[in-house]
Amino acid sequence: MNFSLMMKIYRNPEFSQWSELLHRPAADTRALESAVLPILEAVKLRGDAALREYTARFDGVALTDFSVSESEFQAAEESCPKDLKKAIRLAQKNIETFHRSQIEKHEEVETLPGVRCWRRSVPIERVGLYVPGGSAPLYSTLLMLGVPARIAGCSEIVVCTPPQPDGTVHPAILFTAKTLGLSKVFKVGGAQAIAAMAYGTESIPAVYKIFGPGNAYVTAAKQLVARDGVAIDLPAGPSEVAVICDATAQPAFVAADLLSQAEHGTDSQVLLITWDENTLKAVMREVERQLTDLPRRDIAQKALENSKAILVNTPDEALQLSNAYAPEHLIIACADARALAQRVTNAGSVFIGHYSCESAGDYASGTNHTLPTGGYARAYSGVSLDSFVKKITFQHLSPDGLRRLGPVIETMAEAENLSAHRRAVSIRLNYLKTNTIDR
């Protein structure tokens, strides 16, 4: 066994070491932006012509039409295995159930007699969904984004996903799109797809907000178009998981969870936190054993080199360390997992107990797997129904309401030297002195 080739082990690190210990692999953002900016500009200026060039260069496919045809949807449905179609439909049902529960009830509040305020959720009219389709065609991402977009009532939903070497889209992605009623699917990937959805081309409509994960170039493209006023879902980078476990944990379970994230990409990171030395050693042995027959072994191996196993003194310290890291996914594999989960303050999504594998959230439990990474879980939430709507506030003041509130507004406006603000109230109050109205 050679632990040095896998995760780095730290035993009882001092608090002063935590910042360095929890450091994530960092990409060269300047180099990424330098590579991505010309792509964005080219698509912005030359539309479909630029898309054809980049699709030929990066995907090795010569396309004249980026739209997925009805016959392609039909062929995908026929070729998609029955058991996979059944699984997708069940996952869709669970995701719909969870996200429908997030619909807010309309409530009006009377802050003063005659002063009523309320808030209404309004769907974002045009949204773009990016679905990775390279080494891992993430049809599950389309479920996670397409389901809440439909529930929210977005009137135009555009899907972009890279073509396969034969110029088609993976059948599972197309079956999922058809199941969700999404017909605007385009065979475009990478930074050029983000540019197309941000600025629009002859074939692909521009959208107001772009969702979805991707490689470093896709992430950089999303961040750059956000500077041009196109909203994005959240800051997202390499996938990550932290697992807090005690002596009751099954080492094989924990190792499998760590590897399930490590196989995402060479820049992924996993973190093992425990206060039991024997558990740490047992998990490390299991990681090495399971790694040997993993199809994406080389990718996972590289990710493990960026990863850490940390032995702490107490459960309290484990939670403090996890909250400081703010993981995208947090698994708590402990005897008192539910109690510990109540004290989590920073995490994208939490998996409680020995049987709550992170894969459940990735696919079918119902929660969304589009989550903040890179420590952004300290301030950002994962994608939800709220991500696809705007919250617009409304207020209505009756004449009596203005009489009650008006003097307060006048006083506050005067104190800020904003005379026009004060006048907007005073002119109405003066009118009410000589006129009787009831609305």
Whether residue 346 is annotated as binding a ligand: the answer is no
Q: Residues 199, 115: contact at Cβ < 8 Å?
A: no
Q: Residues 158, 198: contact at Cβ < 8 Å?
A: no
Backbone angles phi, psi at 118, to 5 degrees: -155, 170
Q: Residues 392, 119: contact at Cβ < 8 Å?
A: yes
Whether residue 362 is annotated as binding a ligand: the answer is yes
Whether residue 192 is annotated as binding a ligand: the answer is yes
Whether residue 325 is annotated as binding a ligand: the answer is no
Distance from C-alpha of 101 to C-alpha of 357, rounded to nearest angstrom: 23
Whether residue 140 is annotated as binding a ligand: the answer is no
Q: Residues 188, 162: contact at Cβ < 8 Å?
A: yes
Instruction: Tell me the β-bridge partners of 117.
Output: 109, 395
Whether residue 215 is annotated as binding a ligand: the answer is yes
Whether residue 355 is annotated as binding a ligand: the answer is no
> Collapsing DSSP states into helix, strand and coil, what is residue 172?
helix
Is 125 known to be catalytic? no
> C-alpha distances in angstroms, 330 versus 192, 306, 322, 344?
33, 18, 8, 9
Distance from C-alpha of 334 to C-alpha of 345, rounded to nearest angstrom: 18
Token duo for residue 94: 């669970």
Beta strand spans in 290-337 (E) = 308-311, 329-333
- Residue 378's Cβ-side half-sphere holds a number of Cα atoms within 13 Å equal to 10
Catalytic residue, candidates 329, 354, 358, 369: 329
Catalytic residue, candidates 328, 354, 358, 369: 328
Q: Residues 157, 184: contact at Cβ < 8 Å?
A: yes
Burial 36-70 (b: 16+ CB within 10 A, else e): beebbebbbeebbebbbebbeeebebebeebebee
Whether residue 358 is annotated as binding a ligand: the answer is no
Is 369 known to be catalytic? no
Enumerate the known binding-site residues for Zn(2+): 261, 264, 362, 421
Enumerate the known binding-site residues for NAD(+): 130, 192, 215
Enumerate the known binding-site residues for substrate: 239, 261, 264, 329, 362, 416, 421
Enumerate the known binding-site residues: 130, 192, 215, 239, 261, 264, 329, 362, 416, 421
- Residues marked active site are found at 328-329
